[in-house]
Amino acid sequence: METKTKPNFADLISNSDKPVLVDFYADWCGPCKAMAPMIAEIAGEMSDKLKVIKVDVDKNPSVSTAYKISGVPTLILFHKGQIKWRQSGLIPKPDLVRVLSLNL
């Protein structure tokens, strides 16, 4: 019987054929909740060029510490494991789409 192991964060950001946008968030964070629908829209609209992963900072403290996440929401765009862009706080959808388009 084959057991599936959950891929670790490093594998997700390094082994993807597409850039990976990581949304570091928390359930208690108001701005995170406000951005969630926009992140979901972008994930759908740009699925051919981009992979989106959401990381709950409270449930994944080691990943949050490794990437020095001090505030949420924080978005980080990785490509082949390297950080291409990073921003903390709210960002309007047109601005995020523009930044992603420049980095994809």
Residue 8: its pLDDT value, please?
Answer: 86
Residue 6: its pLDDT value, please?
Answer: 62
- pLDDT tens over the chain, length 104 residues: 444 556 788 898 998 899 999 999 999 999 999 999 999 999 999 999 999 999 999 999 999 999 999 999 999 999 999 999 999 999 999 999 999 999 88
Domain ranges of the chain: 9-103
CATH class of 9-103: alpha beta
Question: Within the chain, how many helices (H) and strands (E) appear?
Answer: 4, 4
Residue 1: its pLDDT value, please?
Answer: 45
- Among 48, 52, 19, CA closest to 35: 52
Q: Which residues are catalytic?
A: 29, 32
